[in-house]
Amino acid sequence: MKRIVLMTVAAAIFAAVPVAMAAGTVSLPKGYEKWEKSKQQIITDKKSLFYGIHYTYVNSKAMKTYKKGGTYPDGSMFVVVQHGIRQEGGKPVPGKKSMIVLMKKDKRSKATGGWLFAGYTPQGKPSGIDPVKNCYECHLKDAPDRDLVISRYADFR
């Protein structure tokens, strides 16, 4: 009987792991700043969650699929670092860092289409964003045919 109870508790804990990670308890990957980096991307719509200037970092596991399309392998990661917009010489330039987001392919994250989403403060601490409302729903709407990856490699360079 004790063994059945322990197995049930263990199964419940392991089933909750992807939900807990998606809720922002997963750490930012170390060294992501050394991954391939996109050109500057500017979102001027002040109503957008991504208003500002941002850069996308893509790990090597994701890059092949990012270039050619298809389904990403587990462990594929994208990190987006977002800055505010300030004007310098009449041109928009990056202001203060405003947030960091992570998208990591994780087949255990069934509630979010096989991707783990997490948000961070400019200092890299979990921000508490809702991975379903703030991430998954937009990715599902904007990129259902690209394995939920909104950005495109053509926009990367």
Confidence of residue 2 (pLDDT cuts 50, 70, 90): very low
On the question of pLDDT at 6 being above 80, the answer is no
For the chain, list the domains and their CATH numbers.
2-156 (3.50.70.20)
pLDDT score recorded for residue 157 = 67
pLDDT score recorded for residue 4 = 37
pLDDT score recorded for residue 63 = 96
Q: Which helix (H) or strand (E) holds 73?
A: none
pLDDT score recorded for residue 31 = 96
On the question of pLDDT at 23 being above 50, the answer is no
- Which carries the bigger pLDDT value, residue 70 or residue 18? 70
- pLDDT tens readout for residues 113-152: 999 999 999 999 999 888 888 899 989 999 999 999 999 8
Strands (E), 30-76: 36-37, 41-43, 52-58
- pLDDT tens readout for residues 62-71: 999 999 999 9
Q: What is the mean pLDDT of residues 102-118?
A: 96
Strand partners, 155: none
Q: Can you list the pairs that 58-64 forms with residues at least 24 positions away whose Cβ atoms lie under 8 Å?
A: 58/156, 59/29, 59/32, 59/35, 60/35, 60/36, 62/105, 63/36
pLDDT score recorded for residue 15 = 37
Q: What is the mean pLDDT of residues 70-87?
A: 97
How many helices (DSSP H) and strands (DSSP E) are in the chain? 4, 6
Question: Global pTM?
Answer: 0.81
